[in-house]
A and B are shown apart, each in its own frame.
Chain A
Amino acid sequence: MPSFGLVHLEFLAIAAFWTIGLSAVAFIGGGMLGFVIALMRVSPSRLVRGIAITYVQVVQGTPLLILLFLIYFGLAIIGFDQLPAIIAAGIGLTIYSSGFLGEIWRGCIESVPKTQWEAAECLAMTRWQRMTRVILPQALRIATAPTVGFLVQIVKNTSLASVVGFVELAQAGKLINNSIFQPFMVFVTVAVFYFIICFPLSAWSRGLERRLNVGRR
């Protein structure tokens, strides 16, 4: 039986790129959708708020694993049975991320003091101007750390995409282990890869937080 070698490392490295790619899709897609959800959550309209709350409740109340199954097989039922795994996994993770990012960002928007809204309102600014020029720039600062923190969660959760046949880091590890059966060696290496992806994100988050806060507080 061959032992763990360079060829396996290379296979894992390629899989790591898929992990990063899927994370990027989930973060960008989930970010855009999540931003809309966050805005809907603070809407003055009860109906709009209600729709957003329901969406968040359903998404947050569904395990990502089940969500991925539902999308992969659900889309097959309505005719997309040749769907590439990355699309199904991308859609699933996008929905998942939007539910959480939407709530995180709503909290950030609401943590800007009400008096800031009031001050902007008294300067005759429209609701949109108040939001974009006064509230969001302040919410952005508050949002940085939890957002990058959640990005780390997304990276780790991409491992679940293996269930729809997507070969990312965790799945690649499983495949290698099936052929050489050195589970400890293989999965430690996989863990190291995850760490290498996640650590710079956490460090970046801390750096951003420092840069955005110092001298402004």
Chain B
Amino acid sequence: MSVVVKLSNVHKSFGPLKVLDGVSFEVARGEVVAVIGQSGSGKSTALRCINALETIQQGSIEVCGHAVHDEKLDKRKLRLDVGIVFQSYNLFPHLTAEQNIMLAPTCVKALGKKAARDIARDCLARVGLSEKADHYPEQLSGGQQQRVAIARSLAMQPKVMLFDEVTSALDPQLTGEVLKVMEDLARGGMTMILVTHEMAFARKVASQVVYMNKGKVWETGPGSMLDAPTTPELRDFVGSGL
């Protein structure tokens, strides 16, 4: 299987605070990788580094052939290959769900209105929100907004999708509907990296779980690793999480 995302010995500090301390992991095409860990363990930062939202001080990150650590990186080309969904949805409040999805295909890929609308309709159908096309974000529930955000990212046909604690702001029921969409995506062969606190979901869907602690990759393995942690830190973390 070809490697799509590769982090090698990544170091990152915010001032004196060391957030990533030699992080390395690989993601192959079609894989679903769940990054778990306590708040402050550096997992969200690692995800943001993959999309060049943060710069790293040392190490290398390769994403779909882009050298993300390189200063000469063309960020726009990188972002054509990588989609990201945020915890706070970040939909554009002045646009309807459909317009939110159409925006990037029309202005970045220069698609016509009709082609973009077809894509938007298709993506909305994939997240089960066809009937909400003309709703503005604040007319939607948190779960629906997050599904629109996923559809917006999908519309750009990324090769990798990043999910940054996308269900952390949602109640259990809304979390369920968002996770279902993500599970469908995973089954459809999308390469996904998700930072999550949903242990059950990680165990069920992830092909690889990366447990981060103190800015390091502490333990990594298949979903079943969560049932039999080898390090005491992961045992504590899983124990307190469930």
Interface of A toward B, CB cutoff 8 Å: 115-116, 118-126, 129, 133-134, 137-138, 141, 215-217
A126 touches B136 (CB 8 A): no
Q: Does B242 contact A (CB under 8 A)?
A: no
Distance between Cα atoms of A120 and B80 in the complex (Å): 12
Decide: B156 and A216 in contact? CB cutoff 8 A.
no
Interface contacts beyond A115-B86, A121-B79: sample of 13 additional A-B pairs, CB < 8 Å, sorted by A: A115-B88, A118-B90, A122-B53, A122-B79, A123-B103, A123-B104, A125-B103, A125-B104, A129-B108, A133-B107, A138-B93, A215-B136, A216-B93
Number of interface residues of B (CB under 8 A): 26
Check B76–A137 contact: CB distance below 8 A: no
Instruction: State which of A115, A122, A123, A216 has its C-beta within 8 Å of the C-beta of B136.
Output: A216
Closest A residue to B51 using CB positions: A122
Please determine whether A124 and B94 come into contact, CB atoms closer than 8 angstroms: no
* Chain A residues in 8 Å Cβ range of B152: 123
- B51: chain A residues at CB < 8 Å are 122
B108 touching A116, Cβ below 8 Å: no
**Which B96-115 residues have a C-beta within 8 angstroms of A?**
103-104, 107-108
CA distance A217 to B137 in the complex (A): 9
**A124 / chain B contacts, CB cutoff of 8 Å:** 76-77, 79-80, 104, 108, 156
Query: Are A116 and B76 also in contact (CB < 8 A) when A122-B51, A123-B103, A216-B136 are?
Result: no
Mostly, the A contact residues are: helix
Query: Assuming the A-B contacts A115-B88, A122-B53, are A138 and B94 also in contact, with contact meaning beta carbons closer than 8 angstroms in the complex?
Result: yes
Contact of B92 with A by CB under 8 A: yes
- Cβ contact within 8 Å between A119 and B92: yes
CA distance A129 to B82 in the complex (A): 19
Q: What are 14 contact pairs spanning A and B, CB under 8 A?
A: A119-B90, A119-B92, A122-B53, A122-B84, A123-B79, A123-B108, A124-B76, A125-B103, A129-B107, A133-B103, A134-B103, A137-B94, A138-B93, A217-B138
What residues of chain B lie closer than 8 Å to A126, measured between beta carbons?
A: 76, 108
B90 touches A116 (CB 8 A): yes
Q: Find the A residue at minimum CB distance from B149.
A: A119
4 closest pairs, A vs B, by CB? A119-B90, A123-B104, A124-B79, A115-B90
- Residues from chain A with Cβ under 8 Å of B42 in the complex: none
Distance in Å: Cβ of A5 to nearest Cβ of chain B: 53
Asked if B37 is at the interface (CB within 8 A of a chain A CB), the reply is no
For B76, the chain A residues whose CB sits under 8 A away are 124, 126
A contact residues around B107 at 8 Å (CB) = 125, 129, 133
Which residues of chain B come closer than 8 Å to A118, judged between CB atoms? 53, 86, 90
Which B residue's beta carbon lies closest to that of A136?
B94
Any A CB within 8 A of the CB of B143: no
| B90→A134 contact, CB < 8 A | no
Task: Please determine whether A116 and B104 come into contact, CB atoms closer than 8 angstroms.
Answer: no
A78 CA to B79 CA, complexed, in Å: 54
- Chain B residues, CB < 8 A from A138: 92-94
B83 in the interface, Cβ–Cβ < 8 Å? yes
Residues of A within 8 A of B108 (CB): 123-126, 129
- Residues of chain B within 8 A (CB-CB) of A141 are 94
Chain B contacts for A217, CB-based, 8 A: 138
A217 to B76, CA, bound (A): 31
